[in-house]
Amino acid sequence: MLESKDFTLFENQIKFDLKGFIIKLAGYWKWFFISWIVAFLIAYNVNIRKEKIYELDTTIAVKEESNPFFTSNTSLVFNWGGTSDQVQGLASAIKSRSHNEVVVDKLDFYLDYLKKGKYYMKDVYGAVPFKVKIDKTKPQLLRTLIGINFISENTFELRVFFDEEQAEVFTYNTNSSSKKGINSGTFTKRYNFNQDINLPFLNIRLLKDEFLGNYVGQEYFIKFNKFDDVVTRYRGIKTTIDKNAQSIIKLSLEGTNKNRLVVYLNETVKTIIKAQLDRKNQFATNTIAFIDSTLLAMEDKLKDNENELKNFTKNKNYYQINSGGGQISAKILTYEVEKDGINRKIAYYNSLRNYLVNSVDFSKLPAPSVAGVDDPNIAMNISKIIDLSTERAQKPYLVKNKKMFKDFDVQMEALKSVLLENIKSAKASLEYDLSVVNSKLSQAEAEISQLPADEQEILKISRKYDLNNTIFTSFLSKRNEANIVKAANLADVHFIDPAKDIGGGQIGPNTKVNYVLAFFLGLFIPLIAVFIIFFLENTILNAEDISKLTTIPIIGIIGIKQTKSNLTVFEKQKSSLSESFRAIRSSLQFMYKKQKVEGSKTLMLTSSISGEGKTFCSINIATVFALSEKKTIIVGLDLRKPKIFDDFNIKNDVGVVNHLIGQKTLDEVIQTTHIPYLDVITSGPVPPNPSELLIGESMDELMIELKKRYDYIILDTPPVGLVADAIELAPYADATLYIIRQNYTKKEMINLLNNRVQREELKNVSIVFNGFENRAKYGTGYGYGYGYGYGYSYIYGNYTNAYGEDERPKTFLQKLKKAIRKG
């Protein structure tokens, strides 16, 4: 029946033993040392095998630049908008697919220039003696290394290895891939610089580039990549808007080749500047195109007027005919120029209205001022709708967002509505002005009608020529102004710091992080391993473990031996280990005195399982009694695995088995040893029925006879946890020593001992803690037998090596110093 103390015992078992775990860790220090060496070696190899990663940057500013040729005297009026939303839009455009497609295509960055390094293929863009000119209309071998080995300064060998009979090729002008039939194996052929290489899988030309150093005998590699894959990679460019200066944008890019980073960053800014300036000039470009078409038509009219005038005045006196109507003609010309200006404005408004109603692309609208329209509201709204239309046309390459397109459409519809209202009101005003001018023209023409017919005709022809010439001159002047304005335009994007390799810039691999990880991995891997072993093994680590699991007293603690045999006490009588056995002898004598045991004393030694040092302790306890000149005998009662004879150099031919079955007398089985006062009875041959022999009357007679002859009888019995022999022998013992071995005896075995004691199967039991080492490497190579070693002793918590010789083995350095002194 379970009692309350049994539950207390169980609670003690499941508590985590921090001290025992620390002792366990200390014992495995070599594991940690080796683990750290391996982890740091791996980290080192990872670091040297990783290609260095760099990050370079460039800084740009967005600032609205006004045109220096915009003055009060400039007849053309352009409205460029502001920069309020340009910064964020520009940052997005730099990361857009369409923008990066332009840059990658211009720089041919889908082509890699490589050279074989010690651990990886190194990107050597900008450090090769050649440049590849690509025929983008023809296929190029995709994702395959193409070797270029220089035979001389102008000759190289092209080498490509094909492991299949088909190769993937890519055509860059159509952005498409396909398969080509290829002979498997290695293709080699020699070429010269500037010689076309026209192969089914490769169409390039190598141009000699400026290169410092000797490249003859060097082998380089080129590799073509998919265009879209490369564009996607460069879309990872970082854009950071300065929080303190919202118009400043920092562009940064990561990569393994600093030359490539510098070129790409600077080119991406140049491309943005050009795109932004082209967009800014769109209004002026549209105006120049409109003026050019108008001038072309006016030029034809002038030629017709000139020919008509020549034909009419042929064989006539022009000055005599034209002498009477000069003033009236000048007045009519003024009115006609004014009327033509009004008609052009009305025509522009009609054309603008039809364009707004029927078209969806407003990016090609000319400036209103080209038709003489100087209404600032109309000019500003046309500028806005051109800007929105241009930006919307670019958005499909930037984002795929239907809501964004809808927002653009809503804004443009609102501007269209405003412009249509402006056109309606402006046309009403112009039609009134036109009626006034027509009225003045009618009055002036009435005066002309009173002149002679020839003079009326010459004035009519002259007025048409003068009118067209005036209009032509006006448009030509406006075209020149538009060209000047366009040429004088400045982009709103400016370099502050162009990208440049000034050294440094390395951001990876982060070798420090790898070494820190190596440190922790080297720590945690063995730590976890020891933690698992600690719980799986569940062995006794120290005296505190025993005290928590049982109330049975610990009579002594035995350390690690340094002798080859088990006769440690006899061979090294001044050692600390010998002192520990003497302490056990003293404790036993006190125990016998307290129990009032007179005459011969019997001591039984047992343990839980084999290999806990039971025989070793039996021999040495017997030795300390014999050295005190007490007649002592060791009786080997472990009939299944006899061992006690080896250390005394005696034979096991006959023993206690022979006596118990009546074959030999007691004197015939007792063997003397080389240790004074110490005799031994070995086990003898292994019997078929060891338990039955030990419980017979012969055993009673043997013990009675031994008590008559000896002061101390040491019974070396089998493990109580494996067989019942020790239980049968317990009644003969005045005291029982239960051997527990550090990191070998399981904690569950203590429960077995407790149960034996509670059922009074064992009496006067004390515990000997064997094999103790405070800084031991526990848990390796223990089996049945005595191959394990012993050393320091520890008795009731106090080291005793101060009382004996130092048994610690000399270290290598100590042995070396000793050898030097002897030499």
Q: CATH code at 726?
A: 3.40.50.300
Instruction: Quote the mean pLDDT of the chain.
Output: 79
| Total structural domains within the chain | 4
Q: Is the pLDDT of residue 562 over 70?
A: yes
Q: Say how far apart CA 292 and CA 480 lie, in whole Å.
A: 11
810 token code pair: 């000399």
Q: Is the pLDDT of residue 611 over 60?
A: yes
One-letter amino acid at 348 equals Y
Do 716 and 811 lie in one domain? The reply is yes
The residue among 363 and 513 whose pLDDT is bigger is 513
In a domain, 231, yes or no: yes
Quick one: how far is CA 299 from the chain centroid? 70
Do 422 and 527 lie in one domain? The reply is no
Q: Say how far apart CA 111 and CA 125 lie, in whole Å.
A: 10
> Poorest-confidence range of 6-10, 37-41, 59-63, 497-501?
6-10
Do 531 and 560 lie in one domain? The reply is no
Q: Say how far apart CA 81 and CA 77 lie, in whole Å.
A: 13
Q: Is the pLDDT of residue 221 over 80?
A: yes
Q: Is the pLDDT of residue 797 over 70?
A: no
Do 331 and 276 lie in one domain? The reply is no
User: Does the reported pTM lie above 0.95?
Assistant: no
pLDDT band of residue 84 (cuts 50, 70, 90) is very low
In the chain, pLDDT over 90 holds for what percent of residues? Answer: 35
pLDDT digits (tens, 9 = 90+) for 223-239: 999 999 999 999 999 99
Q: Say how far apart CA 669 and CA 665 lie, in whole Å.
A: 7
Q: Say how far apart CA 485 and CA 67 lie, in whole Å.
A: 7
Q: Is the pLDDT of residue 464 over 70?
A: no
Residue ranges making up the domain that contains 233: 86-280
pLDDT for 151: 94
pLDDT band of residue 72 (cuts 50, 70, 90) is very low
pLDDT for 305: 65
pLDDT for 78: 47
Q: Is the pLDDT of residue 395 over 90?
A: no
Domain stops at, among 259, 280, 301: 280
Do 696 and 629 lie in one domain? The reply is yes
Q: Say how far apart CA 574 and CA 7 lie, in whole Å.
A: 45
pLDDT band of residue 403 (cuts 50, 70, 90) is low
Among 327-341, 376-390, 625-639, 686-700, top mean pLDDT goes to 625-639
761 token code pair: 């199967």
In a domain, 299, yes or no: yes
* Continuous segment of H or E residues that includes residue 704: helix 697-709
Q: Say how far apart CA 216 and CA 207 lie, in whole Å.
A: 16
pLDDT for 81: 42
Do 334 and 214 lie in one domain? The reply is no
Do 369 and 424 lie in one domain? The reply is yes
pLDDT for 37: 94
pLDDT digits (tens, 9 = 90+) for 700-734: 999 999 999 999 999 998 888 777 777 888 889 99
> Poorest-confidence range of 387-396, 660-669, 683-692, 802-811?
802-811
Query: In angstroms, what is the C-alpha Rg of the chain?
Result: 55
The residue among 814 and 119 whose pLDDT is bigger is 119
Do 412 and 528 lie in one domain? The reply is no
pLDDT band of residue 802 (cuts 50, 70, 90) is very low
**How large is the average pLDDT for residues 445-451?**
60
Closest CA to 613 of 713, 753, 742: 742
pLDDT for 665: 92
pLDDT digits (tens, 9 = 90+) for 298-338: 677 767 666 666 666 665 554 444 444 556 666 766 777 77
